[in-house]
Amino acid sequence: MHKPAHAHEVFLNPGDFYFGAGATCIVTVLGSCVSFTAWHPFLHIGGMCHFILPARGTGKKEQNPDGRYADEAVQLLLHEIALRDTRPHEYQVKIFGGGNMFPHLNKPRGKGSNHVDVGSRNIEAARMLLEEQGFRISTGHVGSDGHRKLIFNLWDGDVWVRHVKERKNQELETSACSSR
């Protein structure tokens, strides 16, 4: 479907969450952070988050969910879909990001290494948390080296991904994760 003439763009910074409808295009740029998109194909509503870490560190929980953390971003999504009297299984969900931003520094150092890969932890958290709540993950573009730019169209559910791999010769990969 073509972009509506009156479409507007919403840019998500790290920790942001947006849920809306109609002629809205949600955009973000990801490194090791992860975004998930959720789109209702019949109502043409949906949302996207941009989380930084799987969960808060130990300590007290805030009263309001914080989109910087995967577990709380899922709670924000659940709240929005409940307001619209819809259910998780009705949405097409996709996961993006979790890239390794420093491939030359983040090499595992052998068996039993305490290598910490934030991107991989974020990907695992998103999958686990979404599936636990009854969301069906249809596709995505996760892992690998480099960063991604996402464009999520709420009018048709398409997600466009531009993946820039961090290498000496910058490779550019663009793909669409269509809802069709």
2 in any annotated domain: no
AA letter at 167: R
Residue 143 lies in a domain: yes
Along the 180 residues of the chain, how does pLDDT read in single tens digits? 677 778 899 999 999 999 999 899 999 999 999 999 999 999 999 999 999 999 987 766 667 899 999 999 999 999 999 999 999 999 999 999 999 887 766 555 445 555 568 999 999 999 999 999 999 999 999 998 888 999 999 999 999 999 887 655 445 555 555 555
Q: What is the CATH number of the domain that holds 113?
A: 3.30.1330.200
Q: What is the pTM of this model?
A: 0.84
Does residue 49 form part of some domain? Answer: yes
Strands (E), 43-108: 45-49, 92-97
In a domain, 66, yes or no: yes
Distance in Å from the first CA to the final CA of the chain: 11
> Considering the domain boundaries, does residue 167 fall inside one?
yes
The count of other CB atoms within 10 Å of the CB of residue 138 is: 14
55 domain residue, yes or no: yes
Domain contains 157? yes
- Please name every residue paired with 123 in a beta bridge, in sequence order, or none if there are none: none
Where in the sequence is the domain holding 149, given as residue range(s)?
12-177
Number of domains in the chain: 1
